[in-house]
Amino acid sequence: MKGGKLIIFSAPSGSGKTTIVRHLLEQPELNLAFSISATSRPRRGKEKHGEHYYFMRLSEFKKHIKADDFLEWEEVYRDNFYGTLKSEVERLWAEGKNVIFDIDVAGGLRIKKKFPERTLAVFVKPPSVDELKIRLKKRSTESEDKINMRIAKASVELATAPQFDKIIKNYDLEVALDEAHKLVAEFIGAEAKA
């Protein structure tokens, strides 16, 4: 695989990584394109195939695993697989883009291990686990059981933060957005905003 740089944002659910990634995608000087992950989980709300995720049946996802079509994949929750298709990254690199990921911790670290020189791995740290729970409840997209499952997973994910290149503490969103922009601009060699 040849191409541009890889920028990974990982964090527990509710930390603000998706908000940060969306903000960075709106900055033309960064020349970023979003890597759409594949998943076997059902769609939520207004999610669209090919925009938010590539939604697949579990059997289809497992066929892609056997065919070695993934750069990384993970069974994040039971029968809920997520992964990055090699073809997705190759497509974006062919467009001359740097690829940005909003991805789980394990997947992010796998990509970093495969492409250490061309990857910036950023961990977004929430103010607290209590704040995470509040944010997840405000979303109103999941059951109390799912939220509790995500909170339990968060403490494990938080322990991996030191394995990332950089940690952004998302206590104040504007500060976190600015810090993320500077990190990415420096990594890819773009001019940072004044």
CA atoms within 13 A on the CB side of 30: 24
Identify whether 95 is part of a domain.
Answer: yes
The answer, yes or no, to whether residue 194 has pLDDT greater than 50, is no
Sheet containing strand 32-34, strands side by side? 32-34, 98-102, 6-10, 119-125, 166-169
Determine if residue 87 is labeled as part of a ligand binding site: no
Confirm or deny that 13 is annotated as ligand binding: yes
Q: Provide the domain count of the chain.
A: 1
Give dist(CA 50, CA 193) in Å, integer.
31
In a domain, 41, yes or no: yes
Distance CA 38, CA 101 (A): 12
Tell me the per-residue pLDDT of 45-71, one tens digit each, with 9 for 90 and over. Answer: 899 999 989 999 999 999 999 999 999
1 belongs to a structural domain = no
**Does residue 42 fall inside a structural domain?**
yes
CA distance 85 to 73: 9
Q: Is 3 annotated as a binding residue?
A: no
Structure confidence by residue, pLDDT tens digits, 136-167: 777 777 788 887 877 878 888 989 999 999 99
SS3 state of residue 76: strand
Range of the domain at 107: 6-188
pLDDT computed for residue 1 by the predictor: 52
Instruction: State CA 146 to chain mean position distance.
Output: 19
User: 83-92, 122-131, 185-194: which has the highest mean pLDDT?
Assistant: 83-92
Is 127 known to sit in a ligand binding site? no
b/e per residue, 53-86, with b = 16+ CB within 10 A?
Answer: bbbbeeeebeebeeeebbbbbbebeeeebbbbbe
Say if 194 falls within a structural domain.
no
For residue 15, say whether it is annotated as part of any ligand binding site. Answer: yes
CB 38 within 8 A of CB 152: no
pTM of the model: 0.85
| Residue 193 within a domain | no
Residue 149 lies inside a defined structural domain of this protein: yes
116 belongs to an annotated ligand binding site: no
Q: How far apart are CA 161 and CA 172, in angstroms?
A: 19
**11 assigned to a ligand binding site:** yes
- 8 exposure class (CB count in 10 Å sphere: 0-12, 13-18, 19+): buried
Q: Binding residue per annotation — 94?
A: no
Q: Which pairs with CB-CB distance under 8 Å and at least 24 residues apart come from 56-61?
A: none
Alpha helices in 95-143, H assignment, sequence order: 105-114, 129-139
CATH of the domain at 74: 3.40.50.300
> Does a structural domain hold residue 45?
yes
